[in-house]
Amino acid sequence: MSPHRVRAYHSASIILPFLLAAVLLTSCSTPGPAVRTGSRHPLRDARQLLVVTTAAWDSCIGSLQAFERTSVAETWTVVGTPWPITIGSGGLAWGTGLHGRAAEPGPVKREGDLRSPAGAFSLGAVYGYAPASEADRFMMPYIPIDSTTVCVDDPRSRYYNLIVRKNDVTSIDWNSAERMWAGSSYYRWGVIVDHNRDPRVAGDGSCIFIHVWGSPTEPTTGCTSLDEAKLLEIMKWLQPNKRPVLVQLPQEVYARLRLEWDLP
């Protein structure tokens, strides 16, 4: 989620065909209750990987490293160098993704908790302010953002965790939504993170992206953010046939899950 929220629009646009589920401090909040519901092998089909690690559950800064492998039987190879990122001001909390719900004890993500989702998540599409005619620079499916585009974060709405165009829905049933075209650089470019996607569970968190940061010291309200030039580099690198995955974990948890999840 970005820092920009709006009340419901009182006009009606089609649902975009993608479900969605952006202070230099090392301690931003206190971890929530511990929950364990088991884990899966989330990288089984992936050949591209983005790894975000933080110092602890409540850290709101960290680093991102890209990896690639030629086949799922091969080992991961480093792509480029690590890059600083910011996450939610509340730190990390277990989200819902390829790993299931919670692979280890730790806080669990809820709507409005200011935490970014921890776990492993497929990356379904990219988006930007550029028109569709300029999307040939990307290999991923591309969503052009305009002034009518919102992501619904109201858990009571039938459109919860969906990107919609306000004039294409039959009725506005939400009281809160993320305005994607907000007159700022946050959503100029971004990657959609498939968190809380299938099924969409009301209240488990919504509108999770990798997007442009405000600054190296500015945390988000739940997304992962980084420098615009690096983000564009990542967006051009991602390929849907390589089943790209985002893994976000505190360093200690990453170390424990490394072998189980086949992490680099």
Angle at 212 between CA 100 and CA 130, to 5 degrees: 105
Using the 8-state DSSP alphabet, how is residue 260 labeled? H
Q: What is the dihedral of CA 105, 123, 46, 79, to 10 degrees?
A: -100
61-68 vs 77-86, strand pairing mode: antiparallel
d(CA 242, CA 35): 32
245-250 vs 48-54, strand pairing mode: parallel
Give every residue of the chain whose pLDDT is below 70, as ranges.
Answer: 1-40, 183
pLDDT value at residue 41: 87
Phi, psi angle pair for 132, to nearest 5°:
-60, -30
Q: Determine how many CB atoms are found less than 10 A away from the CB of residue 218.
A: 17
Structure token digits, residue 59? 């850290």
pLDDT value at residue 40: 60
All residues at 6 or more sequence positions from 248 whose CB lies less than 8 Å from its CB, including other chains: 51, 52, 53, 54, 87, 92, 116, 117, 118, 119, 121, 224
pLDDT value at residue 160: 98
Query: What is the identity of the amino acid at 59?
Result: S
All residues at 6 or more sequence positions from 255 whose CB lies less than 8 Å from its CB, including other chains: none
Query: What is the identity of the amino acid at 199?
Result: P
pLDDT value at residue 185: 85
d(CA 116, CA 119): 10
pLDDT value at residue 183: 64
